[in-house]
Amino acid sequence: MGTLAGAILLTALVFFADFAEIETLVYLTAYLLASYPVLVQAGKNIFRGKIFDENFLMTIATLGAILIGEYPEAIAVMVFYRIGEFFEDYAIERSKSSLSQLLQLQPERAWLKRDSNWIEVVPAEVRKGSRLLIKPGEKIPLDGIVVAGNSFLNTAALTGEAKLQPIKRGSQVLSGSLNQENAFEIETTQDYADSTLTKILKLVTEASNKKTTTEKFITRFASKYTPLVVLGAIIIALVPLLFGAADSQEWFRRALVFLVIACPCALVLSVPLSYFSALGAAAKQQILVRGSDSLDKLSRIQTVAFDKTGTLTQGKFQIVKIETTAEFASEQILRFAATLERQSNHPLARSITLASQAAKQELLTASDLRETAGKGISGTIAGHVVRAGKRSWLTCDLPAGLVNTGMTEIYVQIGDQYAGRILLADSLKPTTESLIKFLRQRRVKHLILLTGDSLKNAQQTVASLNLDDVKAGLLPADKLKIMENYRQIAHRQKHQVMFVGDGVNDAPVLESADVSVAMGQGGAAAAIELADIVLLKDQPQQLQQVFELADKTKKIVWENIGLALIIKFALLLLGAFGLATLWEAVFADVGVTLLAVFNALRLQWQRSA
């Protein structure tokens, strides 16, 4: 409002300039209305010891203009400076809105079953294994498995896809999804602090905190640049007088012009604004980026390592066959395995559980459950210790002649006997091949598969995608060691390494990578928490969008830096020789800042895929 009032008074003076007796009073009023916030901020910064910033430069330049009677120029500088600030704030708020939409996913209440009653609690009070009622029109507060009822879920806020997802008993549901039809009950599989939505929201709140190398350089540059500008203005104002220059007011005016032109607003604001706009643009495409430094690193990625199951492949396994021994039936093996696997979030476990539900089996009760990442799960069922997992997870002897089928194999042991194995097959995600093709065109040197699956199964994926290398049969510690070796080699060549994964098994290696990427919808909460980038649609093609956004952001950042430096240095020379007025100075400061702001906003205007 103050800026608008100042602008109106300045316009009025153009038409009523003959009223000299009130002219000065109106000018000063207009100046104070337009500049009050800047003057106050400059004063506060001086008391805090932060003297040399854009508020200080604007203050001394405009007060100096008033001292030499150039009132319209002083008011114009402040009015246009405030207009520039308005558009900067608009750009930041536009970027924030894309991120804040994700924060609105957070449910405010949960219906918890306590004894035989449903009571309303805040989601943070809910623990793993609790029974929750999800009413129509309510958001799911925690991850869980449906234990009663059926409905349709709207997962658009998480995945960006508008189509409804049918759910029934045994379906896994993610926190943040909206129940569109019937009430149903779930058993939570995570504490509130460990749920998918909580991890995503934590990542959103951290998104703007990490600065890039470019941003840090500009901040350091401005802290040294501004004092030098003030010193330069003092030299322009005083040195000519020492050599006998007669027109002191003219040299003082040139010094003021120099100060306004040299204000580093365009540099200081446009670089972080460009990255912030990029974070907002990514959020619109259902991609969460933990900080702008992650975008900055992408240009140096020359090695990309992938997990297989749930990352490059669907992670939706179909049971092809259940092999049994003479003592056990296939239905028994499936029932025992599903009783164990329903407690796990692994894609293989979900597939086995769903197959059991499709067969309308009633699962048993398991106790003493123990899951070892990358190996398998065990527990006691009906008095028998049951183990399901890799061949090496079993403690019993295996039949002679048991060969690797090339499919994914889950071995089952009941008591001290080998019972059989479940053979499953998976398929590539629809956009996996297009991502690999894009990375090849980008000249990424090394594309590697790191998986806990068998070598024979992994080699089929490598051959179909033409990857460079494969390491199979890996435990989490093995993946971590291999990734550290790749990092050391890459860093010696001034390159960086990316890892793309989705599960709990991937958490250690995600943390060790230079840039880590996790699948958000089907990924484990631990992976989401550690990742630098989360792909909420679970599609590899989103990684291509991240690379393209990073390239565009870097281009815009350097366009803004180049634009600001070229125009400012050109007009600084003109100002020093008296060939530029305060009006040109206003363009050099506010005009260039606005151009940089609108250039950064182009990132927000691109279509979301």
Task: Give the other-Cβ count within 10 Å of 93's Cβ.
Answer: 11
Residue 52: CA atoms inside 13 Å, Cβ hemisphere, count?
16
Residue 165 main-chain phi, psi, to 5 deg: -110, 120
Helix, strand, coil tally for the chain in percent (to 5):
55, 20, 30
Give the C-alpha separation, 195 to 261, whole Å. 51
Give the C-alpha separation, 263 to 595, whole Å. 15
Give the C-alpha separation, 449 to 458, whole Å. 8
Residue with tokens 């506060």: 44
Identify the bridge partners of residue 380 per DSSP, sorted by sequence position.
367, 385
Residue with tokens 């182009």: 602
- Shortest CA distance to 516 belongs to which of 501, 495, 531, 535? 531
- Catalytic option among 53, 293, 307, 589: 307
- Shortest CA distance to 366 belongs to which of 336, 390, 389? 336
Q: Is 514 a catalytic residue?
A: no
Q: What are the strands, taking DSSP E only, across 250-333?
A: 287-289, 301-306, 318-324
How would you class 418 by CB atoms within 10 Å of its CB: exposed for 0-12, middle for 13-18, buried for 19 or more?
A: buried
Give the C-alpha separation, 160 to 48, whole Å. 45
- Collapse the DSSP code of 77 into the 3-class scheme (helix H, G, I; strand E, B; otherwise coil) and give the result: helix
Strand pairing of 376-381 and 366-372? antiparallel
Residue with tokens 């009223």: 19
How would you class 511 by CB atoms within 10 Å of its CB: exposed for 0-12, middle for 13-18, buried for 19 or more?
A: middle
Long-range contacts of 29-33 (CB under 8 A, 24+ apart): 30/5, 30/6, 30/75, 31/6, 31/62, 31/66, 31/71, 31/74, 31/75, 31/78, 33/2, 33/3, 33/5, 33/6, 33/9
The three state secondary structure string of 146-161 is: EEECCEEEECHHHHCC
Strand pairing of 117-121 and 151-154? unpaired
Contact 120, 109 (CB under 8 A): yes
Give DSSP secondary structure letters for 305-326: EE--TTTTB----EEEEEEE-T
Q: Which two tokens stand for residue 523?
A: 């990924």
Residue 501: CA atoms inside 13 Å, Cβ hemisphere, count?
34
Q: How many residues does the chain have?
A: 609
Contact 592, 267 (CB under 8 A): no
Catalytic residues: 307
